[in-house]
Every structure is written in structure tokens, then in C-alpha cells.
Structure 1
């Protein structure tokens, strides 16, 4: 199994739920369940916060011009329904159902297209940040998945890859097909070293390094994280004790 964790940071006016949460930072949303097919999506969300914040989040779900999970930037004509399952004190539980149209796109549907079936989703909303955790079987094209997310969100949100974990390589095997980094990851890592990204304090941040390389910040973040993970896996494989050896504590 493999795990992807990433966030979408929405710009003002691009997502009504994000706008409602940004105005009420004490409120939080987390998914209790989330399921998708090629044609539809349904989910149950748990919202916490003061009464006024819960009312604003509920209103955003019920009255948004387009479904909150849709990555379209305008009404895409989808059929949607949201119901309140429970409201008590500082807690609100919402059920949402969405039938997509050809103009619709969402993270779960893009994941189905590029990562295959049998996916597990978990989400968390805080202010303008929408964090996704996806567990999948390890098949599919992760790079194409992130490229499709970036294409669909456009200028409305910034993608940040937080964690990519893969199944451990067999003992004695090199993690990766040939032990080498893809050219774009090697270029990113070399530029990071040359421009002082790994210095303390840093001489350049991800945004500045992305400008140097002429790539989106989210793309550079993804490439650096993959390169760093690859190197860490190689180092772990090289230093892993062999059968019969002992390690002094």
C-alpha cells in the first residue's frame, strides 16, 4: 500500500467553504467517510466550532454555486444534495451527495482516473487549507495525478505535497528501478544545494528556487520531496543490518 498526503490552499473567492472557514479559524472539518464512483461522490463530514461558525459552514455547503468538492471555478451543472445528520452543541454532521457532469472534476475522481480503484480517502479542512490523505494499492501514475490536480485548480489553489510513502523495497534491493533519480528531480536537488536551500539559515526558499528553475512552486516541492525520499531509502537499504549481524545500542 502507498499513501499520499497533500494540501490545496485556496485563494479568496475560489471555494465558499474555504472562505467560511478562513473567516472563522476556530472551526474545523474532517471527513468521517468518503466514497466515489465514476459518476458520483458521497461523503459524511464532521464539523466542530462555535455555533456561529457551524451555521456559516452549513450555509456554505447548502448554498454554494457549485459543490464544494468540485474543482470547477463556476457552476458546472452537477446535481448535489446536502443534509444535516446531526447538530448538537459545537458539532455538526453533514451528508453530501453529488452527481457529476462532463464539466466536473474532483480530487477523488482524478484519483480514480490515475490511481485505480480501491482507494481510501481522508480529508481535513482548516481555514483555506484542504488536506487530503489517499491510501492506494501502489498502481497508477502519481505524477499524472498531481499534474491533473494542478491543471484543474489553476490559479484558485496552490498544491503542496506533504508526504509520499511507498512499500518498503525487498532486503538488499535498491529502492527504485535503476538507483538513479529522474532528470527533473536530480536538477531540482542540484539547484537546491547550489543555491543554499539546505543551508542554515536557508539562502533561498522554495518560491525563490522555483523562480530560478522556471517551474511552479508545487512542482518543485513535489520533485524535492521525491528526491529526498529516494535518497533516504537508498541510505536505509545500504545501512540495513544483514542476517546474523548485531547492532550495538
Structure 2
């Protein structure tokens, strides 16, 4: 059986460097996740699902419709690309957007850099929370991951901090998702340990998120993301553990 590889990383954008990140940073409870994302050598299509307050959704829609967004183009100046963005569905707390981007030689994006170094058939999943933009890639494992990250870092430059969150066999990822195996990343462990040591989980809190982020020398959005993911994983592990230790019902 062919084994695929999972690659998870995040870009934490500086203010003013990504319109979507700026909009989400102003509305911390809003989220954007990809429902579908496809790329060829010269085009990119994606469908995104956003949740949040009506004000947040208006800001997100405006960011997507602004011409300098270009569906993940990493060019620092106007690259001459053409993009069409349409609203597919809208409600008070939900927004679905479709983007079609035709790139130029000056354009670069995560999917296109991935195609260059990881080969065809890469699957993409994204989640955008605040300035924290997380990418999950599933690839064959035959490509050059180091070269991918080198080119991506060069394309991103100083506009965002890049953090590798996970690289593993997809079989291991499935075991973790099913609760049979679980491990926090070193960054998540460090954030969780600092939160406990500095009284973040005390009631009342002895330190707030901003102070804890400053102590760890990371953006507050990065700290929030790491703690949320660590808490989610520990909660799932706890529930899975309880399920496994529960006695089966007595047959009558």
C-alpha cells in the first residue's frame, strides 16, 4: 500500500502584509477554512468557508474581493495576475467564497511552490485564524521538502513567520485522529507548560495572553493557536481514553 506524507505548517503574518489576516485579527472569533483548493501550473481555484459576526464576514468578504489579495499570491508588488472572486452563499454567521486566480510569471503561492518541489497530486487544506494561516499538505513523499521550505521562506520574506508544525506519515496521523496515538508538538508543549507555570489557567488568571506571549517571545495569535490546538488534542485524548476504559454494557 502506498503511504502518503502529511506536512503541516503555519504562516503568521505581520500587520499590513495580508488583507485577510488583518481582517481576521480585528475579529478574533472569526475563522476561514478551505472547502476545496486546486492548482495547475498557471491557475488556482479555491472555495472558502468563513464564520463570524456579520461585521467580521463583511471585512473578510472585502479582503477577498480586494485586488491585491490574489488568492494566496506571495508577490510583494502588483504581479499583474487576474482574479475573480464570487460569493456563493451568505448568512448572518456564514460566508462561502469562490476564487479563481490566473497567475503570471511574477506570481508565487504555496500550492505552486509545492507543485514544483513535492510533485503533482498534492492535496491542500487551510485554516485561517487571526494572523495565523495554517496549511496542511498531503503529498507522495517523493519530493524535496527542504527545497520547498527554502523557496517558500524566500517568497514570504519578512512578511510572515513560518513555523513547521508537523511532518509525518499519514498512517500515524490517522492513528492520532482516532485517539490511539497523540503527541503535542514541542511548541505546543512549551506554550502549555508556560501557561501553567505562569498562572494562565488559574481563576482569576495571574497572567493574560499578551503577557504570556511576550514572555515566550511569540505573537499573541501564535500563542493562542498553539494553546487551542494543544487543548483540543488533550481533550480528544482524554475522551478517547475514557471511552476505552469504560466497561461494556451488561447483556440482558
- TM band (smaller chain): 0.5 to 0.7
CA distance in 2 between partners of 1:79 and 1:112 (Å): 20
Give deviations 1:171-208, integer Å, cap 9, x for gaps.
xxxxxxxxxxxxxxxxxxxxxxxxxx9xx98xxxxxxx
Matched, 1:72 2:79: no
Matched, 1:48 2:65: no
- SS of 2:158's partner is coil
Matched, 1:100 2:103: yes
Using structure 2 for the length normalisation, give the TM-score.
0.66
- SS of 1:71's partner is coil
For the 8 Å contact 2:124–2:137, the answer to whether it is kept is: yes
- SS of 1:108's partner is helix
Task: Report deviation, 1:167.
Answer: 6.5
Cα RMSD, aligned residues only: 1.9
Q: Which residue of 2 aligns with 1:20?
A: 23
CA distance in 2 between partners of 1:112 and 1:69 (Å): 15
Matched, 1:85 2:82: no
Using structure 1 for the length normalisation, give the TM-score.
0.67
More helix by share: 2
- SS of 1:155's partner is helix
Matched, 1:161 2:164: yes
Give deviations 1:1-54, integer Å, cap 9, x for gaps.
000000000001111111111111111000000000000000000000000000
Task: Report deviation, 1:66.
Answer: 3.8
Task: Report deviation, 1:127.
Answer: 0.3
For the 8 Å contact 2:45–2:98, the answer to whether it is kept is: yes
Q: Structure 1: where are the runs of 5+ without partners?
A: 169-196, 202-249
- SS of 1:29's partner is strand
CA distance in 2 between partners of 1:31 and 1:89 (Å): 19
> Which residue, 114, 124, 128 being the options, matches 2:127?
124
- Misfit runs of 4+, over 6 Å: none
Q: Which residue of 2 aligns with 1:7?
A: 10
Aligned residues: 173
For the 8 Å contact 2:16–2:22, the answer to whether it is kept is: yes
For the 8 Å contact 1:16–1:64, the answer to whether it is kept is: no
Q: Which residue of 2 aligns with 1:188?
A: none
Task: Report deviation, 1:68.
Answer: 3.9
Matched, 1:136 2:163: no
- For 1:177-196, list aligned pairs within 5 A: none
For the 8 Å contact 2:84–2:101, the answer to whether it is kept is: yes
CA distance in 1 between partners of 2:62 and 2:52 (Å): 14
CA distance in 1 between partners of 2:119 and 2:45 (Å): 18
